[in-house]
Amino acid sequence: MYRAIVSSTEIENVLRLLAATPRRITSLSRGIDIGKFQFKPDQDSWSANEILAHLRACADVWGKNIMATLTLDHPTLRHISPRGWIRRTDYLQLEFKSSLATFAQQRHELLSVLKGLATGDWSREATTKGREETVFSFASRIAEHESKHYRQIEEVLKLASALKRGQA
């Protein structure tokens, strides 16, 4: 079963955003002192390392949803919370740059699959949490979610650098 066809422009935009995230984080983190990745602006905030761990958990969960939607005929997917999933991993304990390298490799693998899809495959459906989702909606969610968290990483690292210099 397929929904309306997603346009090639929409697909290209999502692919561009998905490809950009690891590159942008790599560029942002280049030359940053390792201790700054653990810096938390306040008790309730996340460090850059925690944000990256969260992005990896989301990529795991939503990437698996994409793969299941592509390989099964209209599957019903059990909801898995990325925040719950992260507790089953060691992502929060990993060093930022090695975790980022793994994230980038995982993204490369996802993009290899997505770039090979026919336009109609982006409209393949799955049901999760009682809602219909498509390959496109899962991929769009990842891209949009990462964009928000990229800005969060950027702000945390800027603040960590400013505090280090005594400018905050």
**Hey, where are the domains in the chain?**
8-165
Report the top-level CATH class of 8-165: mainly alpha
Task: Please give the structure tokens belonging to residue 41.
Answer: 């602006």
Q: Whole-model pTM? A: 0.92
pLDDT digits (tens, 9 = 90+) for 2-14: 456 899 999 999 9
Which residues 6+ apart lie within 8 Å of 30 measured at CB?
A: none
pLDDT given for residue 1 in this prediction? 44
Q: How many CB atoms lie within 10 A of CB 152?
A: 16
Residue 52: per-residue pLDDT: 98
Lookup: tokens for 143: 């891209």
Alpha-carbon distance 58 to 140, whole Å?
12
Q: How far apart are CA 168 and CA 160, in angstroms?
A: 9
Q: Over the stretch 109-133, which tens digit does the pLDDT of each residue have? A: 999 999 999 999 999 999 999 999 9
Q: pLDDT tens-digit profile of 43-53?
A: 999 999 999 99
In Å, how far are 28, 35, 57, 161 from 16, measured between CA atoms?
18, 31, 21, 29
**C-alpha–C-alpha distance, residues 160 and 99, integer Å:** 20
Q: Which two tokens stand for residue 64?
A: 């698996």
Separate counts of helices (H) and strands (E) for the chain: 5, 3
d(CA 34, CA 139): 31
